């Protein structure tokens, strides 16, 4: 089936089998391997991408054909013009990652969180990332990173916009 998907601001037209999952379409058809696959069953959250900028979705549990006509933002789309997105910079500054396997999903989940809730408190952050598992960090520094990014984005809202 022919689909047209805008990924990180770029439009792609591809012919896909309906059973192709979005995560595999991004990784294998488009070569965007920033989106990781862990559990492959909608549990771990490392495959999360943003759909139409305001919805975090687990791309291992959505078909690529469902993204037809939509805009997808992956971790590769966060950085703009060589400058890390405030969330990426904050994960760096706060040591919000160790092996980095969960990081793309953490970033995209918190990217959508900050769109809906620009100033979440610690409990709200912990709740929002409850569907993203990290085996390394103990979450403490991930929470601090999201707090840092939320403060910075409040001071400079234009930095939040990516894609399109």
Ligand X SMILES: Cc1cc2nc3c(=O)[nH]c(=O)nc-3n(C[C@H](O)[C@H](O)[C@H](O)COP(=O)(O)OP(=O)(O)OC[C@H]3O[C@@H](n4cnc5c(N)ncnc54)[C@H](O)[C@@H]3O)c2cc1C
- Judged by CB under 6 A, the residue of 98, 126, 147, 162 near ligand FES is 98
**Burial of residue 76 (number of CB atoms within 10 Å: 0-12, 13-18, 19+):** middle
Q: Is the Cβ–Cβ distance between 67 and 5 less than 8 Å?
A: yes
Q: What element of type H or E holds 146? A: helix 140-155
At what angle are helices 140-155 and 86-93 packed, to 10 degrees? 140
Kindly tell me which of 40 and 93 has the beta carbon lying closer to another protein: 40
Nearer to ligand X, 64 or 145 (CB): 64
Q: Which residues bind ligand X (CB under 6 A)?
A: 42-43
Phi, psi of 156 (to 5 degrees): -140, 70
Site for ligand FES in 50-69 (CB under 6 A): 58, 60
- Near another protein by CB under 8 A: residue from 116, 118, 140, 161: 116
Which CB sits closer to ligand X, 83 or 135? 135
The window from 5-13, 18-26, 71-79, 144-152 that contacts another protein (CB under 8 A) reads 18-26
Q: Between 38 and 163, whose beta carbon lies closer to ligand FES?
A: 38
Sheet with 48-51, side-by-side order of all strands: 10-15, 2-7, 71-73, 48-51, 55-58
Exposed (0-12), middle (13-18) or buried (19+): which is 11, by Cβ within 10 Å? exposed
Instruction: List the single partner that 17 binds among ligand X, ligand FES, another protein, none, CB under 5 to 8 Å by kind.
Output: another protein
Residues at the site binding ligand FES, with contacts judged by CB under 6 A: 37-40, 42-47, 58, 60, 97-102, 134-137
């Amino acid at each position: 089936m022919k689909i047209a998907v805008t990924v990180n601001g770029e439009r792609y037209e591809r012919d896909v089998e309906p059973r192709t999952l979005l995560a595999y379409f991004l990784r294998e058809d488009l070569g965007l391997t920033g989106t990781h696959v862990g559990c492959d069953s909608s549990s771990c959250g490392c495959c999360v991408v943003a759909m139409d900028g305001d919805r975090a979705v687990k791309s291992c549990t959505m078909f690529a054909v469902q993204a037809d006509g939509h805009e997808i933002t992956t971790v590769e789309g966060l950085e703009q013009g060589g400058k890390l997105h405030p969330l990426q910079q904050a994960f760096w500054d706060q040591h919000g990652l160790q092996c980095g396997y969960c990081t793309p999903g953490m970033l995209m989940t918190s990217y959508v969180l900050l769109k809906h809730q620009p100033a979440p408190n610690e409990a709200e952050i912990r709740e929002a990332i409850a569907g993203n598992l990290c085996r390394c960090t103990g979450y403490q520094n991930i929470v601090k990173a999201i707090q840092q990014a939320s403060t910075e984005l409040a001071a400079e809202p234009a930095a939040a916009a990516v894609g399109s």
